[in-house]
Structure 1
Amino acid sequence: MDGILPLWKPKGWTSHDCVMKVRKLYKTKKVGHTGTLDPEVEGVLPICIGQATKIVQFLTDTTKIYRAELTLGSTTETEDAFGAIIENVKVDKFPSQQKIENVLESFMGEITQVPPMYSAVKVAGKKLYEYARANQTVERPKRKVVIHSIKLLTTNQDSNVIKFEVTCSKGTYIRTLCVDIGKELGYPAHMSHLVREQTGSIKRKDTVNFETIEAACLNGSEQELLLPITDGLTHIEALQVNKETAIKVLNGQKLIRPEQILERKPIKVMYGNKLLAIYQVHPEKENEIKPIRVFSE
């Protein structure tokens, strides 16, 4: 079985839990997820099965869409609602809608984030949360991420809540974004709720839950739940080849670089609607493209 299982990750599950469950249900070890979601966050978590595991890194690199809720007045050690409160102040003047919209807009484009201590980012071979649990502090690496769009949804002055939707690049910490937005509004803040609505081209409406998956496995229709591998590569440019070239591609041969391939980004090589391979420009020979993933027939 090869394809992408568009899972709706439930609350309380780690991304690894989901992979282990799918391995048992689909009776295969060739399973991988495409971007970690915190245990208490639900949402779109595409699971790659079989040959689809070859595209995990490419699907992980896609943009994500989240619906987030931040609460003004307090911040926590984990930057979400589940950590110990480390600062708490009264919100004596809730920001106006115009001010909130202006602040959200100021985060558009490329921004710099410092990942939270309770995160899986590695420093000197250890994950930050391992340092945090040992009460050790360590310098956290700054990272550049991109906010493609961000818009205000609703506010609730009684509970000091601001809800917004954000489309962002891989590696964006929405918890940190909530804290930084709060700072710009003049208050400590934390992320009080989060849902991932979309990963790449895979949307909430495309997803299935574990109840549906388990039922499909019982009646032998689990293959029908899988999306084609190409659904995880809609953001990658396609190169159509003829039958003769297709044979070369399936044998992992290098090809002369086509004129239309202007950038060094990965490209998907197609024969009709069949995905053959992912190629990229040869690092040492500009006039050639070489395979980085080949899919068996």
Structure 2
Amino acid sequence: MPICIGKGTKVVEYMSGYEKEYNGELTIGYSTTTEDRSGDILESQAVTESWTKEQIERVLDEFIGSIVQVPPMYSAVKVNGKRLYEYAREGKVIERPKRHVQIKRLQLTSDVELKNDQVVFRFNVLCSKGTYVRTLAVDIGKRLGYPAHMSDLVRVGAGPYQLEDSFTFEQLESLKEKGSLHTVLQPFETAINHFPKVVVDTEMESLVKNGAVLPFDHKWARFSVYNEARECLAIYKEHPNKEGKYKPEKMFWIGGQPMH
């Protein structure tokens, strides 16, 4: 999970829309109340079929692209001002709003194994914000004709950040004690690298640093502004009332000084 500190907290709002990447495991043979292995068994059915890797891969391919999901009852989605998991804890099942999500990649990453009348395999998925991988696992099971659940899940990527670049709290404490915590911090600009970039000259830099409304020769709705030293100065967006003009949405310099 990316954690922002100092100036980095100013870019948190731009990180919520990141695509996410997961490594997971799907177990076919029984479903649960939570759609993962933590829930109570809802339905059980011994698997009598034997699928090849090629057959499973073809089924996974059917889920790539835009799909519709119904959020699980054990989720934080609000319906009529109340979280779904609150209804679920009361033993209620209510109608839930469908949502469109994007599955950018869905790959089989293991053998397809038959264990105790259940089929288990691992997968990797790259998906849009708002995707429930638990529900994806259940829907794959339904497509194969059996109850299923997500039996394991690890998030390995969020936007530009990858699991292999992360640290445990214990490692961070150790680095802090050694006085070298700063060596592993990533520049806040990495969180907004998905925005178009504009580099301005010295004259324009001064205006940007003071929050001026400015014209820019492009049609981007939102973009980051850098000086010639490649320092990020601000995020600009279209002005709602002045055609062809852009105003600062987020400043990383105030009064000509960098924020810390």
TM-score of the two chains, using structure 2 as the length reference: 0.91
Between stretches 135-144 and 200-209, larger displacement belongs to: 135-144
1:46-82 CA deviation, whole Å, 9 max, x = no partner?
1111221121122221111111111001111100000
Contact 1:115 1:121 in 2 (8 A): yes
| Number of corresponding residues | 250
2:138 matches 1:179: yes
Match of 1:295 among 221, 233, 252: 252
| 1:142-161 mapped onto 2 (5 Å cutoff) | 142-154=98-110, 155-158=112-115, 159-161=118-120
2:32 matches 1:73: no
The aligned residue for residue 195 of structure 2 is 236
2:84 matches 1:128: yes
Change over 3 Å in CA distance of 1:63–1:127 after alignment to 2: same
Question: Offset at 1:84?
Answer: 0.6
1:144-163 CA deviation, whole Å, 9 max, x = no partner?
11111111111222251121
The aligned residue for residue 20 of structure 1 is none
Match of 1:93 among 23, 36, 49: 49
Distance in 1 between residues matched to 2:23 and 2:3, nearest whole Å: 21
Match of 1:199 among 131, 143, 158: 158
1:211-246 CA deviation, whole Å, 9 max, x = no partner?
110111222222222100111122211111122222
The aligned residue for residue 72 of structure 2 is 116
Extract unaligned runs of 5+ from structure 2: none
TM-score of the two chains, using structure 1 as the length reference: 0.80
Contact 1:62 1:235 in 2 (8 A): no
Question: Offset at 1:176?
Answer: 0.6
Distance in 1 between residues matched to 2:191 and 2:104, nearest whole Å: 19
| 1:1-297 mapped onto 2 (5 Å cutoff) | 45-154=1-110, 155-158=112-115, 159-259=118-218, 262-264=219-221, 266-271=222-227, 272-296=229-253, 297=258
Change over 3 Å in CA distance of 1:132–1:286 after alignment to 2: farther
Q: Which amino acid aligns with 1:239?
A: V
Contact 1:257 1:281 in 2 (8 A): no
Q: Which amino acid aligns with 1:149?
A: R
Change over 3 Å in CA distance of 1:100–1:286 after alignment to 2: farther
Question: Offset at 1:136?
Answer: 2.8
Distance in 2 between residues matched to 1:282 and 1:147, nearest whole Å: 33
Change over 3 Å in CA distance of 1:81–1:287 after alignment to 2: same
Larger radius of gyration: 2
Question: Offset at 1:128?
Answer: 1.2
Contact 1:252 1:291 in 2 (8 A): yes
Change over 3 Å in CA distance of 1:270–1:86 after alignment to 2: same
Distance in 2 between residues matched to 1:227 and 1:71, nearest whole Å: 37
1:28-59 CA deviation, whole Å, 9 max, x = no partner?
xxxxxxxxxxxxxxxxx111112211211222
Q: Which amino acid aligns with 1:139?
A: E
Question: Offset at 1:250?
Answer: 2.2
Distance in 2 between residues matched to 1:253 and 1:131, nearest whole Å: 49
Contact 1:95 1:185 in 2 (8 A): no
Q: Which amino acid aligns with 2:65?
A: G
Q: Which amino acid aligns with 1:218?
A: E
The aligned residue for residue 37 of structure 1 is none
The aligned residue for residue 42 of structure 1 is none
Between stretches 174-183 and 136-145, larger displacement belongs to: 136-145
Extract unaligned runs of 5+ from structure 1: 1-44
Q: Percentage identity across aligned positions? A: 45
